[in-house]
Amino acid sequence: MTKCGFVAILGAPNAGKSTLVNQLVGQKVSIVSPKVQTTRSRIMGIALKDNVQIILLDTPGIFEAKKRLDKAMVQEAYDASSETDANVLVIDVTWPNLNLAQQLCEKHSKGIIVALNKIDLIAKDQLLKIATSINSFANVTKIFMISALHADGVDDLANHLCSIMPKGPWLFPEDQITNIPVRSWAAEVTREQVFLQLHQELPYNIFVESESWEEFDNGSVKISQAIVVAKDNHKGIVLGKRGQTLKKIGQAARVELEEQLEQRVHLKLFVKLEEDWQERSWALRAFGIGV
């Protein structure tokens, strides 16, 4: 007898949602960074545990959005949780946004599971205080205390999810771990490196696109990607002094691509200016956001 179901992972930006999804899947399917708004569209991670397939929807962080792209991202997160079998709200205990948490719990009248995350960073008594507050919110069915980064408590959460998934056939082959096409995934790998290599000066509104993908007989692949920036001065930030920053981004992305694709990769990166790309619907579609 097999079981299979959908679970949305929700929460504020930077709460650790993607880290949790990767941990539940057992492999990295969604990019992670210390910056907010790393995840921009719904990404599916497929976890398999004994006879249960859990289709996890990693979502963009929920916050008070004003810009069109931001609003579309937040809407993605809300939409993801409307027809799932369970929803998990991830809360960063080092910086809990209890107002947002309460609102989200109230919205989920069919019940919501709360995962208090980053417990490796705070004291027990502080954690218990947060748990007590959350416990008083409407619709909370269970509270787990976890460290997604260190895989602490994640098994208990996974076992609980398995226990509540509905009976049914698996919807994906057992070796499939995500639904994103390889070209989009490769663009995400580079975007992660942009987030990791740029610091305070990070232009959040960058966007990476795989423009060409050429496989060679010797088993190697040549990937050309554009890093699209919205302002002229962002070009220089991404390039760095004498192109050093772009070079570092490219080297780190290539290492990860080679590791995951198990083939030699020639990665060609260039920076392209597209003013106000975020306001255009083609860009949002290219992002995977349905507007």
Bridge partners of 268? 224
Residue 250, contacted partner among ligand GTP, Mg ion, none, CB below 5-8 A by kind: none
Among Mg ion, ligand GTP, none, what does residue 16 contact (CB within 5–8 Å per kind)?
ligand GTP
* Sign of the C-alpha dihedral computed for residues 243, 244, 247 and 252 taken in this order: negative
Q: How far is the CB of 114 from ligand GTP (least distance, A)?
A: 14
Closest distance to ligand GTP from the beta carbon of 88 (Å): 12
Exactly one of 6, 10, 18, 178 binds ligand GTP (CB under 6 A); that residue is 18
Minimal distance in Å, beta carbon 253 to ligand GTP?
17
**Minimal distance in Å, beta carbon 222 to ligand GTP?**
29
- Does residue 38 interact with ligand GTP by CB under 6 A? yes
Q: Which member of 28, 108, 118, 191 binds ligand GTP (CB under 6 A)?
A: 118
120 lies in the binding site for ligand GTP (CB under 6 A): yes
What's the min distance (Å) between Cβ of 170 and ligand GTP? 26
Residues in 58-77 that interact with ligand GTP by CB under 6 A: 60-61
CB 267 within 8 A of CB 186: no
Question: Using CA of residue 175, residue 180, residue 183, residue 187, what is the dihedral sign?
Answer: negative
Give min distance, CB of 274 to Mg ion, in A.
Answer: 24
Using rule CB under 6 A, residue 34 touches ligand GTP: yes
Sheet order of strands, 265-273 included: 207-215, 221-229, 265-273
Cβ proximity to Mg ion, 39 vs 84, nearer residue: 39
Q: Give the angle subtended at the CA of 259 by the CAs of 222 and 236, to the nearest 5°.
A: 60
Using CA atoms, how far apart are residues 161 and 159, in angstroms rounded to an integer?
A: 5
Pick from 131, 143, 149, 261 the residue near ligand GTP by CB under 6 A.
Answer: 149
Q: In whole angstroms, give the CA distance from residue 48 to residue 4.
A: 9
120 contacts which partner out of ligand GTP, Mg ion, none, CB within 5 to 8 A by kind?
A: ligand GTP
Q: Which does 149 bind (CB under 5 to 8 A by kind): Mg ion, ligand GTP, none?
A: ligand GTP
Instruction: Measure the CA–CA gap between 221 and 214, rounded to whole angstroms.
Output: 6
269 strand-pairing partners: 225
Chain contacts with ligand GTP (rule: CB under 6 A)? 11, 13-19, 32-34, 36-39, 60-61, 117-118, 120-121, 147-149
